[in-house]
Amino acid sequence: VQTVLVVEDEAFTRQLVCVALGTAGYEVTAVGSAAAALDALRTVKPDIAILDVGLPDMTGWQLCERLRADGDLPVLFLSAHARDIDIVRGLRVGADDYLVKPFSPAVLIARVEAVLRRATQRPVSRAVQLPGLTIDVGRATVERDRAQVALTASELRILAALSQEPGTVLDARQLALATQGYDLPRGEASRLIKVHISNLRQKLEPDPKRPSYILTVRGIGYRLNVATNGTNA
Ligand code: CA
């Protein structure tokens, strides 16, 4: 049985989430604040956390950063806002997925399942060598100039997809499928992937405004730039 930690201060939503998860066979620990969540984590070892963004004592993002510092517990955010800035923020702190209120219980369960599935399936891929950059997706490591770069699980999945056939162009929907584990409408997919690619470039590119590793193929998608040298893949 997999355990879910639900952190939501709004009683109605918390109950909705708990009933949906309970019906689907999950064990649920539900709390109403970040402090109570950190407390619960001393005794409960959840497989996934569902975090409300607007918590009374800290933001869900801050809580996510605290959780990330302690390990790689998968996190699904619940938010009242669908604004881009919220999504960017959530993804930057390493959220695995994002659900905007109101949501249907069926969609919630599907997302939880997808996140858990992804968390247990490490992507299989060969190591790819670019000038100054080593991507070893199988071992979940990326090194830039021999220094380890910390990537979120979603960012790693994008690199894994792009490294599968280095140089092949993938569109936003293919990349979204790779990161999320389910198909997204084109608009939503390109918005999501744009955020991830931008974060990846900030972390990897010497000059994120003039990317040399992850190239945009206008109107189509993205590809790894393997043309400048041979790849040892
Ligand atoms: Ca709230």
Would you say the C-alpha torsion 75, 51, 17, 191 has a positive or negative sign? negative
Q: Which residue has the tokens 């900030």?
A: 202
Token reading at 202: 């900030």
Residue-wise pLDDT for 60-100, tens only, equals 999 999 988 888 899 999 988 777 677 777 788 788 888 88
**Mean pLDDT to the nearest integer, 139-164:** 88
CA 53 / ligand 1 centre spacing (Å):
6
Q: Which residue has the higher pLDDT, 149 or 121?
A: 149
Closest Cα partner for 94 from 51, 53, 49, 64? 64
Token reading at 73: 């517990």
**Mean pLDDT to the nearest integer, 201-208:** 94
Torsion angle defined by CA atoms of residues 219, 225, 226 and 229, in that order, rounded to the nearest 10 degrees: 140
Residue-wise pLDDT for 11-47, tens only, equals 999 999 999 999 999 999 999 999 999 999 999 999 9
What φ, ψ does residue 221 adopt, rounded to 5°? 170, -135
pLDDT of residue 150: 85
CA 11 / ligand 1 centre spacing (Å):
9
Q: Which residue has the higher pLDDT, 231 or 28?
A: 28
Rounded CA-CA distance 20/208 in Å is: 42
Cβ atoms of 52 and 27 within 8 Å: the answer is no
Residue 95 amino acid letter = A
The answer to pTM > 0.85 is no
CA 12 / ligand 1 centre spacing (Å):
11
